[in-house]
Amino acid sequence: MFETIENKKISQMVIEQIQGMIMRGELKNGDKLPPERELTQTLNIGRPALREALKALEVIGVIESRHGQGNFVVNNTENSVFKPLSLSFKLSNGNIEEILELRRLIEDYTVKQAAILADKKDTVILQEIHNAMVNADTTEQKSQYDKQFHYEIARISKNILINSLLESTSYLFDSFINKTVRMSFFGEDSIDKIYEEHLRIIEAIEKHDAKEAARRMHIHMNNIDVYLLNEQ
């Protein structure tokens, strides 16, 4: 039993070491780790502790073990089965209003930046996503294109950090809102309003009018909030 506790501590130290090497840029995306035998010697630890650390790093999406090739540094943290932010938030009794607040904050930023940075190609893509959403057959598909619309604006804004934050927030949002309610938002009554709002946002981005883009996004977010909080 004591050995297990020891092992846990050692494996955490190994995790911290690898994390530190990534943060200092000594390990980069795609890098291969030294063979496990060499690592146990360098770190002066046993095989079980190393395995435990690598396994944990693999589950979180920082390391990938490729059969017969060894262990590689990867960036799969977004697809990770762990959503620590979401879990922590849920466990501290966070509520949906807090998520909506954060989303407003992010969307306000991304739409302003998009209005400043967007080129012709960017607005064409936004328009195409909008068209695909209008022509989609199911509310499920429409919901997917809606997400893509907002992610695309974030992509145009060119801040990787805020991009991945929008994705986390979106995941958090989905896990808090009842799916039926979420889908009903893309139903007949409210969908025309969404289309209209998206078009106004595209127009403002096209004109590089950051203030108007933010104003339009604000109206859009308000409508989403009012709808969802009433239906919940």
Which chain residues interact with its own copies by CB under 8 A?
Answer: 1, 5, 8, 11-12, 15-16, 19, 22-23, 25, 28-29, 52, 55-56, 58-62, 67, 73-75, 77-78, 80-94, 98-99, 101-102, 105-106, 109, 159-162, 164-165, 168, 172, 175
What is the nearest approach in angstroms of its own copies to the Cβ of residue 137?
29
Residues 6 or more apart in contact with residue 98 via CB below 8 angstroms: 89
In the bound state with its own copies, the residue whose beta carbon lies nearer, of 64 and 203, is 64
What is the nearest approach in angstroms of its own copies to the Cβ of residue 133?
27
In the bound state with its own copies, the residue whose beta carbon lies nearer, of 14 and 202, is 14
Contact yes or no for 113/157 (Cβ under 8 A)? yes
**Phi, psi dihedral angles at 142 (to 5 degrees):** -60, -40
Distance CA 127, CA 102 (A): 26
What is the nearest approach in angstroms of its own copies to the Cβ of residue 86?
7
**Cα-atom radius of gyration of the chain, to the nearest Å?**
22
In the bound state with its own copies, the residue whose beta carbon lies nearer, of 19 and 42, is 19
What is the nearest approach in angstroms of its own copies to the Cβ of residue 43?
15
In the bound state with its own copies, the residue whose beta carbon lies nearer, of 141 and 159, is 159
In Å, how far are 16, 179, 189, 224 from 231, measured between CA atoms?
A: 45, 11, 13, 11
If DSSP codes are grouped into helix, strand and coil, which group holds residue 81?
coil
What is the nearest approach in angstroms of its own copies to the Cβ of residue 178?
11
In the bound state with its own copies, the residue whose beta carbon lies nearer, of 91 and 120, is 91
What is the nearest approach in angstroms of its own copies to the Cβ of residue 142?
24
In the bound state with its own copies, the residue whose beta carbon lies nearer, of 118 and 166, is 166
In our burial notation (b when 16+ CB lie closer than 10 A, e otherwise), range 151-161 reads bbbbbbbeeee
Residues 6 or more apart in contact with residue 167 via CB below 8 angstroms: 78, 151
Greatest alpha-carbon pair distance for the chain in Å reads 66
CA 223 and chain centroid, separation: 23
